[in-house]
Amino acid sequence: MRSRGLLMLFIAAIAGLAAVIMAARWMQGQNGNQGRIAVANADIELGGRISREMVRMTDWPQGSVPAGAFEDPAALEGRVVLVSMQRGEPLTEARLAPVGTKGGLSAVVPSGKRAMAVRVNDVVGVAGFALPGTYVDVMVNTQDENAARGDRDHSISKIVLERILVLAVAQEADRDTTRPKVVNAVTLEVSPDEAELLDLARSVGTLSLVLRNQTDPKTITAGTGATKAALLGLKAQAVPASAPAPAPAPHPVAVRRAAPVASPVAAVSRGSCVELIRGLDKVTECF
């Protein structure tokens, strides 16, 4: 019985030793397949320019090296990042602006797009929740010049731009922050046509930003906008055109008429008997 226990213990020791040897060989094989790539040595903000102090080399398994990784840190000096980088993240070509690009927000604006700032406050800026990386709709409140005559309130509110990317708030373009921040200016990413509409909208009325879901790509059908009549459930009533004033009546002209002369016929019509004088005789005749 005792010998059998010793045999089992010996077999377990042999199996453990074999496992250690195999693990050591596997680790040696992994070390032999490792390479060195460049990673961020510090946090780098969006649009920041890379310096030599911001890069360090580290070991990385060859089988999981990211596409576009750099093995020479000198090739990264002066490049501009398109996204915020955290310390230890691999620096790849897809995260960098083209060679020769200057740092700042202009490096982040895609080709064919423009960056345009609008003035906001705590209400217009959605209480500070319009942050870099979020999407907003732009609404304008202005006066409707096509309103019916007689309508004393021509105000209309209408969404003029939809799903516009917020590039920066004030002078900050960090897209990793989620804490609301009230600022006085927001920079939006727009196309040239949208830039013209936005410039016109802010010159004819008051702008408001409407925060929307980042994953919602849908846009609404362009409508006529909201008016005061629609808000109160009223129908606009057109005032009929005023009728032309009547022509002034001519001044009456006083006409002097001659006194009426009694005629025998009129006398006859007022009675049934008449009195006739023939010479010296007076005769009364009745009809």
> Any bridge partners for residue 189, and if so which?
115, 165
pLDDT mean over 172-178: 78
What digits encode the pLDDT tens for the residues 14-47? 888 888 888 877 766 655 567 889 999 998 988 8
Per-residue model confidence as pLDDT tens digits over 48-89: 889 999 999 998 888 788 999 999 999 999 999 988 888 999
Task: Compute the chain's Rg from CA coordinates.
Answer: 49
Report for 139-148, 203-212, 218-227, 244-253: range of highest mean pLDDT: 203-212
d(CA 73, CA 150): 72
Pairwise CA distance, residues 198 & 59, whole Å: 50
pLDDT at 273 exceeding the cut of 80: no
Please enumerate in sequence order all residues whose Cβ is within 8 A of that of 229, keeping only pairs 6 or more positions apart, or say none.
151, 235, 236
Q: Which region among 36-45, 139-148, 193-202 has the lowest average model confidence (pLDDT)? A: 139-148
More confident residue, 252 or 131: 131
Q: What angle do CA 126, 208, 147 make, to 5 degrees?
A: 150
- Which 3 state secondary structure label does DSSP give 280? coil
pTM: 0.60
pLDDT at position 184 over 50: yes
Name the DSSP class of 28: H
Looking at every residue in the chain, the average pLDDT score rounds to 79
Alpha helix locations (H) across 205-270?
228-232, 264-270
**Tens-place pLDDT, residues 234-272:** 654 444 445 555 555 555 544 444 444 444 444 444 456
Give the Cα separation of 237 and 248 in Å (integer).
Answer: 32
What are the residue boundaries of the structural domains of the chain, listed by start?
Answer: 45-108, 110-230
Residues 216-222 have a mean pLDDT of 73
Q: Would you state the torsion angle of the CA atoms of residues 248, 249, 255, 257, taken in this order, to the nearest 10 degrees?
A: 180
Joined together, the tokens standing for residue 185 give: 């200016």
Question: Does 232 score more than 60 pLDDT?
Answer: yes
H runs (alpha helix) in the chain: 2-32, 192-204, 228-232, 264-270
Confidence of residue 182 (pLDDT cuts 50, 70, 90): confident
**So what's the pLDDT on residue 37?**
92
- Residue position matching structure tokens 């501009």: 80
What mean pLDDT is predicted for residues 272-285? 71
Nearest-10 Cα torsion for 220, 222, 223, 227: 90
Q: What pLDDT score was predicted for residue 56?
A: 93
pLDDT of residue 33: 67
**Band of residue 11 on the pLDDT scale cut at 50, 70, 90:** confident
Reduced to 3 states (helix: H, G, I; strand: E, B; else coil), residue 7 is helix
Residue type, position 221, single letter: T
State residue 31's pLDDT score: 56
By residue count, the chain amounts to 287
Q: C-alpha angle 226/116/184, rounded to 5°? A: 75
Long-range pairs for 28-37: beta carbons < 8 A, 24 or more residues apart: 30/61, 33/61, 33/62, 33/63, 34/59, 34/60, 34/61, 34/62, 35/59, 35/60, 35/61, 35/62, 35/65, 35/71, 36/60, 36/71, 37/65, 37/66, 37/69, 37/70, 37/71, 37/90
